[in-house]
Amino acid sequence: MTGLKGKRVVITGAGGGIGASLVKAFADQGAVVIGCDKAANTDEPIAPDHLEVFDLLAPRSIGKAAENILGQFGAPDCLINNAGWTRAELMQDVTPEVIERELQLNLSGVMQFTQALLPAMVERKRGSIVFVSSVNAVLHFGNPVYAAAKAGIEAYSRAIAVECGEHGIRSNVVSPGSTRTHAWDHRLEAEPHLLPRVTRLYALKRMVTPEEVANAVVFLASPLSSGITGATLPVDAGATAGFIPFIDTVLKGVS
């Protein structure tokens, strides 16, 4: 067992994709799941014990949501910052509006929500925070503003780990590669030839699943990783271990 039974776990972006798998994974461990999303209608096969509706693009709603959570549940044992979004794939898509929106959603809003809950966790002198980042934080696969925001999140996680460790707070990052969510399923239905072009980038020759990402988050949130803080754990089918197309093209001569 992971030691999460009865623990209060806050999960942002709980409405689908990786978030749905996170809700199920923590519920399976017996945790009290406090899901957060921008809409009340979610796609989880297992509903959270409580759903807090707020939008990371609305700073006032962030503070109010944190107040509601602290008032009803007290300081969370675990905070899982999963929410994120991007559509600006290339530099040519980057505008001032895109910069403002994507940095607020993927970096500033995440920091604001964490900062609102962190003092209560520090005061209680225990807690675990896990951020869901992306391989885009360390290698460029497109989505430049999103990538910059995720790199910022990883730096922020290290700051929490170093400065709050003496108060019993651990902070870590899970960094997924391409994850086979429903969004990817819809895209592959429209572009069936895209799948082999994507999977050839990975050492395991496949995408990771939302469940695999959730398993890593559960590990880092739980006492099983009690000696780990300030770390980033890739769940990326080998994307950041090395560039397999280089091996195929240069060393094996595969065209």
In terms of phi and psi (left: phi > 0; alpha: psi -120 to 50; beta: otherwise), the region of 83 is beta
Instruction: Please give the Cα distance from 200 to 130 (Å, whole number).
Output: 29
Contact 62, 109 (CB under 8 A): yes
What does the pLDDT read at residue 108? Answer: 98
Percent of the chain with pLDDT over 70: 97
Whether 44 maps to a domain, the answer reads: yes
Burial 72-107 (b: 16+ CB within 10 A, else e): ebebbbbbbbbbbebebeeeeebeeebeebbbbbbb
pTM, to two decimals: 0.94
Range of the domain at 137: 8-194+208-240
Whether 245 maps to a domain, the answer reads: no
Q: How many CA atoms lie less than 13 Å away from 161 in the CB half-sphere? A: 19
Whether 93 maps to a domain, the answer reads: yes
- How many domains in the chain? 1
What are 90-142's pLDDT values in tens digits? 999 999 999 999 999 999 999 999 999 999 999 999 999 999 999 999 999 99
What are 153-206's pLDDT values in tens digits? 999 999 999 999 999 999 999 999 999 998 888 889 999 899 999 999 899 999
What CATH number is attached to the domain comprising 145? Answer: 3.40.50.720
Whether 60 maps to a domain, the answer reads: yes
Whether 250 maps to a domain, the answer reads: no
Whether 150 maps to a domain, the answer reads: yes
Per-residue pLDDT band for 255 (boundaries 50, 70, 90) equals low
Instruction: Please give the Cα distance from 105 to 107 (Å, whole number).
Output: 6
The tokens of 101 are what? Answer: 């929106």
Q: Which residues are catalytic?
A: 146, 150
The tokens of 247 are what? Answer: 């091996």
Class of residue 5 by CB neighbours under 10 A (exposed 0-12, middle 13-18, buried 19+): exposed
Instruction: Please give the Cα distance from 192 to 70 (Å, whole number).
Output: 46
Per-residue pLDDT band for 233 (boundaries 50, 70, 90) equals very high
Contact 191, 198 (CB under 8 A): no
Instruction: Please give the Cα distance from 227 to 223 (Å, whole number).
Output: 8
**pLDDT above 90 for 39:** no
**pLDDT above 70 for 41:** no
Mean pLDDT along residues 230-245: 94
Whether 144 maps to a domain, the answer reads: yes
**Beta strand pairing call for 169-176 and 32-37:** unpaired
Whether 52 maps to a domain, the answer reads: yes
**pLDDT above 90 for 43:** no
Helix axes 96-103, 144-164, angle to 10 degrees: 30
What are 76-95's pLDDT values in tens digits? 999 999 999 888 899 999 99
When the pLDDT of each residue in the chain is averaged and rounded to a whole number, the result is 94
**pLDDT above 60 for 42:** no
Q: Indicate the residue type of 180.
A: R
More confident residue, 245 or 71: 71
